[in-house]
């Protein structure tokens, strides 16, 4: 029995979905533990593309049980759309295959409305780059103890009471602060009751179910969303998401004891990308950046926005190693670097006369740092058809080795193309 946590090491979009899909083959349970439908995991299986926003990507396997933990916030309309979309592709999602924690909080219409109104009211330099999906306002309600949980859908009296109390405050803000139309109590209630009927069979106690699975000796895979530098506490605040994206939250967000975690695999893109606003020390504003964006297909699965692209940031990678306690790396999109004559990796930052080995917590300093680069030789041949690590170009293997040496963490997976099978599994964490 093993329990493995998958986390992003950068600003999200590292290719976690594909790695989760690979490791799901060895897992019995796949658990999503934080975030909401602001996340987007893209998988390509037999030339068929699947994009997951809420449901764990392990749902592609009929013999796996998927769980949505209490740390996830759920837009019920989006969840039901995702279930319907998968069914249309021949992947029925049943209560036998998916359990949703009764303690997961719900994204309501007023959360989306407030999210969009708040972002629109900010000046350009202060915009966060939110997806506008209600994520932040929902987490605010959760922390403020005024949120509505999915378990409340099963108790109409409780739902009515909580909804009425919340709408009083939210409509005041919408009308008085943002000059927006109020949200109708009756419309929201009717929608929620409709969702309740459809989702009730999926609702259960994820923590109890996972503990029983652990005691039976089942393999459990925890699937993170976003990336380490988007963590609400440890990321480039305020340009972050509203949840804890680091590995420690796998336990908080699912009700699973920390001493039961066996390994933590960090997904590291071979270069660095970021969506939205915020510091990005290695960002490239030249033809190389455009080439990485084009060849890497760097467009957000959730928003469709172009991802900013730059060289690999070793400082960001080192932060991820420390914050997550990484035991292995999954290096993704190595193939995108094929054709580059030289490859660079930032090994430290300069800030005035200071040398920094970690991202500064002061956001103004984070925006001012200058990366110190180490240059490595590139390779010209395409590598997407390589099936054994030893067959990679020498320069590609040297690059992977340099990443391992710099971070102090071994690469256990190397991705050489977008398809499911274009992945080199060097060491299976479930068999370690």
- Which residues are identified as catalytic? 13, 41
Alpha carbon distance 370, 282 (integer Å): 8
Residue 104 DSSP label? P
| Edge-first strand listing for the sheet containing 203-204 | 203-204, 98-101, 65-68, 29-32, 220-223, 3-8, 263-269, 328-332, 411-415, 423-425
In angstroms, rounded to a whole number, what is the distance separating the alpha carbons of residues 157 and 151?
12
> Which structure tokens are listed for 331?
């290096």
348 close to 359: Cβ distance less than 8 angstroms: no
The Cα–Cα gap between 328 and 326 comes to: 6
DSSP 382: -
> Taking the C-alpha atoms of 426, 428, 429 and 432 in order, what is their torsion angle to the nearest 10 degrees?
-100
In 3D space, the residue among 183, 226, 256 whose CA is nearest the CA of residue 6 turns out to be 226
Rounded CA separation 266/409 (Å): 10
H helices present in 124-254, as ranges: 135-143, 156-172, 185-199, 206-215, 249-252
């Amino acid at each position: 029995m093993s329990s493995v946590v998958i986390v992003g090491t950068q600003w999200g979009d590292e290719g976690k979905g594909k790695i989760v899909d690979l490791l799901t083959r060895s897992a019995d349970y796949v658990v999503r533990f934080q975030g909401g439908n602001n996340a987007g995991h893209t998988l390509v299986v037999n030339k068929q593309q699947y994009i997951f926003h809420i449901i764990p990507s392990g749902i592609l396997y009929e013999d796996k049980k998927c769980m949505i933990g209490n740390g996830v916030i759920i837009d019920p309309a989006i969840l039901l759309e995702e279930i319907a979309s998968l069914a249309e592709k021949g992947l029925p999602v049943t209560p036998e295959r998916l359990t949703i924690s009764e303690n997961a909080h719900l994204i309501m219409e007023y959360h989306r409305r407030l999210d969009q109104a708040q972002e629109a009211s900010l000046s350009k330099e202060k915009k966060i780059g939110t997806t506008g999906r209600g994520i932040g306002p929902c987490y605010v309600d959760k922390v403020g103890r005024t949120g509505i949980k999915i378990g409340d859908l099963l108790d109409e009296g409780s739902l009515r009471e909580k909804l009425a109390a919340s709408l009083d405050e939210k409509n005041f803000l919408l009308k008085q602060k943002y000059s927006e139309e109020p949200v109708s109590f009756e419309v929201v209630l009717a929608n929620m009751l409709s969702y309740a009927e459809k989702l009730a069979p999926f609702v259960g106690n994820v923590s109890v179910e996972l503990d029983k699975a652990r005691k039976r000796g089942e393999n459990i895979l925890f699937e993170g969303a976003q990336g380490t530098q988007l963590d609400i506490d440890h990321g480039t605040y305020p340009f972050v998401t509203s949840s804890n994206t680091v590995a420690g939250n796998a336990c908080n967000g699912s009700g699973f004891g920390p001493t039961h975690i066996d390994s933590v695999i960090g997904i590291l893109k071979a270069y660095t990308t970021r969506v939205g606003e915020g510091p990005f020390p290695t960002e490239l504003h030249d033809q190389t950046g455009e080439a990485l964006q084009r060849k890497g297909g760097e467009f957000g699965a959730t928003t469709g926005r172009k991802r900013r692209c730059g060289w690999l940031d070793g400082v960001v990678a080192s932060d991820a190693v420390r914050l997550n306690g990484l035991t292995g790396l999954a290096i993704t999109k190595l193939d995108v670097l094929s054709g580059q004559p030289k490859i660079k990796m930032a090994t430290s930052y300069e800030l005035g006369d200071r040398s920094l080995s970690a991202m500064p917590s002061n956001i103004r300093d984070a925006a001012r740092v200058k990366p110190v680069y180490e240059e490595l030789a590139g390779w010209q041949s395409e590598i997407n058809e390589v099936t054994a690590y030893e067959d990679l170009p020498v320069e590609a293997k040297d690059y992977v080795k340099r990443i391992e040496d710099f971070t102090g963490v071994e690469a256990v997976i190397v991705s050489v193309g977008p398809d499911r099978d274009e992945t080199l599994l060097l060491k299976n964490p479930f068999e370690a």
